[in-house]
Structure 1
Amino acid sequence: MTQKQYESFAAMVSGQVKANTPSANKCKHHMTLSLTWAALHLADSDSQHCDLLLKGAYGTAVEAVSLLAIGLVRPAILSLRAHYELSLQFLYYKDHPVEWRGVTDFRNQPNLPGVNKKYLKDFYPEFEKRFKTLVAHRNRRNEDCYAVLSGVAHGTAIHSITSATAPEELVEDITTVRAAVNVFQDAAEHISDINLSCFQGNWISLPEAIKDDLTKRFKDKQPAAELDL
């Protein structure tokens, strides 16, 4: 690659920001759900041993939205997948400080989402029933967004494979950027529902952003009663 090609890439990226900002802001709004849970957990002194995961969840959210704003959709989805994985890893490792030490010492690989969700189902009695209720009242298109996120990461999502031959060809058109907004919504709501399904508090102790979302989703029903909170 030449300097001129990189300069063309930078100019194209800069030119896309204005058009992509509305979509990026929608993604930022959707991410409020998952980041609200991260903030709640960061305030818990019992989880400080693995708060790196929560800080990473914040960082990858910033990364994902920023990449989308400049039209780099595929890298944005990869960052969103990291956000999803880190969020679920926290829910396991907050209860497993010894196993977390093994990860930080590079003796163990971090768990993938399937392992973490199995743990939550096995050890939080209310998890399955509550999650099933949440899925029945979901706004997201996909019950589980991880297949989409992983498809992009592993190249099995055929339409996401790049055929770029120059840096500026990595920048997607506005239609593709707008289409990615739904993926952000799916991921954030799914993360929120998993957190809520193993939540040990009551309705009053839930953050306002989560209560507002549930009230809208359940419409004429009472989410506190439906979810036994």
Structure 2
Amino acid sequence: MSAPDYQPQVDALVAAIQGHVSGPAVDLGLQHHSAILPVLHWVDYLKKSQLTGCCDDILDGVRATLVEASGCIALGLIRPALFALRAQIDAALAWLYFKDHPIEWEHLLRTGDGFKARLEVIEYLGRFIERYLARFAVLNSHRTRTVEQPYRVLSAHIHGQSSLVLPTFQNLAAMVYPEQRCAEAITLQSDVAEYINDIFLACYAGRWSSLPDEIVNAAKSRIPAPKQAQLFS
């Protein structure tokens, strides 16, 4: 394809993005910000009181993936937004593991080898963090997210192994999704944020007196009073 043939495609893509930005983008951005608040509260708390001096910058990476998702949704680019959503989970779990494993972290940085899969980290947390499994079970039984495992949904889109999740773009402008699809991505972001919140809370609920009020109050609003002792212990 020559440059003159390709230019109309680029022009149509820019026009589609501009139309989205001048339309629902700001409202969608505000909705997305509300959806990510639980993760923002956790990042602020962890950076203030739980850093170990190892892989501290991963928490900045978690925040960056929130920004990335917001920017993609503001532009109507939902496919890359889904990659950012999954990266939020991956980065949060990576920090939980590598913050206490400086030798493994240094090896990963030096060789590019040694990344931990999600299930590996979940298994590690359940094995070595006291009451992690019991706390997460309480949180999971009173989840508000629309899907129990948002990571699986995101992985299905990213791996593209089904006609249900494969993109069907015929031109560049089609990459800009309509407002309703963007709203669905924000709902999925809410699911991701709750999932990350529950992982962190299952790790740190025993420190409930030092946790931000927003985190504790949100948990108490979900968990029936008789079961709160199972969580915050």
1:13 pairs with one of 13, 17, 35: 17
Q: State the Cα deviation string for residues 111-153 of structure 1 (Å, max 9, x = none).
A: 1111111100000121010000001111112222110011111
The change in CA–CA distance for 1:47 and 1:223 in structure 2 (over 3 A counts) is farther
Alignment of 1:170-181 (within 5 A): 170-181=175-186
In the TM superposition, residue 78 of structure 1 has moved relative to its aligned partner by 0.6
Sequence identity of aligned pairs in percent?
30
Cα distance, 1:228 vs structure 2: 3.0
Which residue among 136, 140, 149 is the counterpart of 2:154? 149
Q: Deviations over 1:151-202 (max 9, x none)?
A: 1110135333212132111111112111112210111100010011111643
Q: TM-score, normalised by structure 1?
A: 0.92
Could you tell me which of 86, 92, 95 is aligned with 1:90? Answer: 95
1:100 aligns with 2:115: no
Q: Distance between the aligned counterparts of 2:40 and 2:98, measured in 1?
A: 18
Could you say what the CA RMSD is over the residues aligned between the two structures, in angstroms?
1.9
Task: Assess if the C-alpha contact under 8 Å between 1:38 and 1:87 holds in 2.
Answer: no
Q: What whole-Å deviation, never above 9, does each CA across 1:68-122 have from its counterpart, x for those lacking one?
A: 1111111101111111100111000011111111111124232111111110000
Matches for 1:105-124 after TM superposition, within 5 Å: 105-124=110-129
Matched, 1:25 2:27: no
In the superposition, the TM-score normalised over structure 2's length comes to 0.90
Q: Distance in 2 between matches of 1:131 and 1:62?
A: 27
How many matched pairs? 228
Q: Which runs of 5+ in 1 are unaligned?
A: none
The answer for the alignment partner of 1:164 in structure 2 is 169
**Alignment partner, residue 76 of structure 2:** 71
* Aligned equivalent of 1:228: 232
Aligned partners of 2:26 and 2:230: how far apart in 1?
37
SS in 1 for 2:68: helix
**1:206 corresponds to which letter in structure 2?**
L
Give the Cα–Cα distance (whole angstroms) in 2 for the partners of residues 198 and 68 of structure 1: 30
